[in-house]
């Protein structure tokens, strides 16, 4: 079981979402405590991505802690991950 941590601006896009989207994202974040597999953002980068409908949640894993870095829709996700490449 993993502990969850949150980066400072992980929820930057959340105020723009409706309450149903927020609940869906929060439910998926809670599942990250026990989720075994997630895809890499890109090979060689230690950031993982899970999907919740049209939303993406990105996190980094350090030992038994998962730090949530980003939560938002696909368009916001593309803009966010473009800063890594």
pLDDT (tens digit per residue) in 54-78: 999 999 999 999 999 999 999 999 9
Residues in the chain: 85
Beta carbons of 50 and 57 less than 8 angstroms apart: yes
Torsion of CA 21, 9, 61, 43, to 10 degrees: 90
pTM: 0.89
pLDDT at 84 > cutoff 80: no
- Angle at the Cα of 63 (from 51 to 25), degrees rounded to 5? 20
Domains and CATH numbers, the chain: 3-84 (3.30.2310.20)
**Model confidence pLDDT, tens digit, residues 17-47:** 889 988 999 999 999 999 888 899 888 888 9
CA–CA distance, 11 with 44 (Å, rounded to integer)? 25
């Amino acid at each position: 079981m993993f502990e969850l941590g949150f980066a400072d601006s992980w929820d930057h896009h959340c105020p723009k979402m409706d309450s149903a989207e927020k609940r869906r994202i929060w439910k998926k974040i809670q599942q990250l405590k026990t989720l075994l597999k997630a895809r890499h953002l890109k090979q060689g980068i230690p950031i993982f991505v899970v999907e919740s409908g049209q939303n993406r949640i990105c996190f980094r894993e350090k030992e038994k802690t998962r730090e949530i870095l980003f939560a938002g829709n696909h368009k916001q996700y593309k803009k966010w991950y473009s800063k890594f490449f």
